[in-house]
A = this chain, B = another copy of it.
Amino acid sequence: MQSDTKPRWERRKDARPQELLAAALDLFVDRGYAATRLEDVARRAGVSKGTLYLYFENKEELFKAVVRENIVEVIGKAESDVAAAAGASCNELLRAMLNKWWCEVGSTRASGLAKLIMAEAGNFPEIAAFYNDEVIERGNGLIASIVRRGVDNGEFAPVDADVMTRVLTAPVLMLMLWSHSFFPCDTGSIDPEAFMAAFLGLVERGIRAPAAAVTD
């Protein structure tokens, strides 16, 4: 859409940040935050180290940009979805959200960022705070709101919504972590679909109100 008259050597001017973000995502996911060298990010994006600093103030800002691009955005969409499904069955909605979370984030490269955060947040407080505010609080809030609604309307057993949110998100988080592990037994032996199916089955049967059977 840009003017066609621009000389050839200036092409892709606007694409630079995207290429850098893509390269950074790959390397952060593979190596972690501290172990990722900016020079490698630059090289993978086909630019020089100095260029990277033209687009991102420093390593930390680069990382934040990667998180925004790959995770924060998805959460925003999910929030809209939940708001739109106000009348749906909570048991189904809950499982749909968990499954969607796995499909749209967990099963992508972006899930490596969760591993990274888990691992290194303690050494980089600023990053921890950012991730907590932008991802964890919002993501958990979303799940908790569904649980709360399910408890309120009698679909679910009367559980503590915040605690149950943790229990429900834990397996998906672990699956995300495992999918970025280098353990032979992990990498090789877990079938994510089977795992999610087993987990969602457990949830379906495990969360609903006992009384529900009577009610039926």
Q: Which of B30, B122, B136, B189 makes the CB contact (< 8 A) with A30?
A: B122
Size of chain A's interface in residues, with CB distance under 8 A? 55
Q: Which residue of B lies closest to A141 (CB)?
A: B185
Question: Across the interface, do B195 and A132 meet the contact criterion of CB distance under 8 Å?
Answer: no
The A99-146 residues at the B interface (CB cut-off 8 A) are 115-116, 118-123, 125, 128, 131-132, 136-137, 140
Number of this chain's copies in the assembly equals 4
Question: Across the interface, do A198 and B164 meet the contact criterion of CB distance under 8 Å?
Answer: yes
Question: Across the interface, do B118 and A185 meet the contact criterion of CB distance under 8 Å?
Answer: no
The A121-178 residues at the B interface (CB cut-off 8 A) are 121-123, 125, 128, 131-132, 136-137, 140, 159-160, 162-164, 166-167, 169-171, 173-175, 177-178
Question: Across the interface, do A121 and B167 meet the contact criterion of CB distance under 8 Å?
Answer: no
Question: Across the interface, do B194 and A128 meet the contact criterion of CB distance under 8 Å?
Answer: no
In the bound assembly, the distance between CA atoms of A128 and B182 in angstroms comes to 7
Q: Which of B119, B194, B198 makes the CB contact (< 8 A) with A119?
A: B119
> Which A residues form the contact surface with B (CB < 8 A)?
30-32, 34-35, 115-116, 118-123, 125, 128, 131-132, 136-137, 140, 159-160, 162-164, 166-167, 169-171, 173-175, 177-178, 180-186, 189-191, 194-195, 198-199, 201-203, 205-207
